[in-house]
Amino acid sequence: MKNYKRLIGYALTAIILFFLFRTLSATWSQVANSGFEFSFNAPMLAASLALLVVARAFAVEAWRRIVISLGDYFDFGFGARVWFLSNLTRYVPGNIWQVATMMVMVGERGVSKTNALLSQVIYTALALAIAGLFGVMFILVRPDLFSAIVPSFIAASAPIIAAFALVLVVVVFALPITNRLIVAVTARLLRREISAPVPTFARGLVPPFFSMLMWLTNGVAFFLFIGSMTPPTPEQLPAFIAMNAGAYWIGYVSFVTPSGLGFRESALALMLATFFPTPVAVAFSLVTRLWSTAGELLGVLLVWITPERLLARRPGSETR
């Protein structure tokens, strides 16, 4: 059954990528007619890759704080090594191998398998909730595209609505009752008893705060990456943050393809097409995968060559 599902995932990936490349080749002549110009900015590309690593560092800290709240502990340096090295398994169909690899690696530091799994469940729920929220905000930051479904007074209040929604998500995930609910649902799915300490509201605020920083930083990195190929427009930054997170969310929940390959690119191409000619949008969506992979490999290289004692100088401070 697992092999069958894997074959379906690869087949869907191949089909989606085939149509993306066919659209690109069939309509590329439109680029010349549109007058669109490419420009390469190496410093901006380098900055985008650096910010990708910074964004992943925020994700590491969000996950690590969840582990601490569950009663286990490891420092930021070890957490970064686990995060980036286990990321290498994300391209295997199923979206489960990264978690399995993490469980094995943190187990070497005495973290229980239950807490390792539970921390990933909580982190994934948190990260997807914030990513989905940022993705939905694309409607608010581009009211010109959704005027039929977005009333003018809502479009005018988009910044306030977005800020309120983000605060609401952070607060909801910080509530002890939310933590207990996630633990209960996980225990029911695993059909086992799970006893985990419930973090205080103050401690519960930390993981969603770092997760939000991760998506914001990742979105800025994406904006700079696109800007390294064509001059950026600062007022478009909120839309780029939104589509980066939204495309990731769609790719993740597709589940059957390796790391959302194909689904993520298609969603990103559709949103980018609201700013660029269709063939350019498709090309950008395809090279974004390569850029993202390059950022992950850069993170792997950095944690591989950096002494763990230096990585342990983590952002912020905490008590066990």
Written as six digits, the tokens of 10 are: 């690869």
Longest Cα pair distance anywhere in the chain, in angstroms?
Answer: 64
Q: Mean pLDDT throughout 233-255?
A: 87
Total residues found in the chain within this entry: 320
pLDDT(137) > 80: yes
80-127 pLDDT per residue, tens = 989 988 887 766 655 567 778 888 888 888 888 888 888 888 898 899
CB–CB of 288/225 below 8 Å?
A: yes
pLDDT band (50, 70, 90) for residue 143? low
* Cα–Cα distance, 176 to 200 (Å, whole number): 6
Determine the residue type at 160.
I
pLDDT(237) > 80: yes
**The residue to which tokens 């605020």 are assigned:** 205
247-261 pLDDT per residue, tens = 998 888 776 555 556
Q: State how far the alpha carbon of 62 is from the alpha carbons of 134, 135, 140, 161, 313, in Å.
A: 18, 20, 27, 24, 15
Q: According to the model, what pLDDT value does residue 297 have?
A: 87
| CA 315 from centroid of its chain's CA atoms | 20
Q: According to the model, what pLDDT value does residue 312 have?
A: 55
Is the pLDDT higher at 149 or at 58? 58
Using the CB atoms, write b or e for 7-27: b if 16+ within 10 Å: eebbebbeebbeebeebbeee
29-83 pLDDT per residue, tens = 555 555 556 778 899 999 999 999 999 999 999 999 998 888 888 888 889 989 9
Q: Mean pLDDT throughout 136-154?
A: 67
Is the pLDDT higher at 7 or at 48? 48
Q: According to the model, what pLDDT value does residue 233 have?
A: 85
Q: State how far the alpha carbon of 48 is from the alpha carbons of 44, 142, 299, in Å.
A: 6, 24, 13
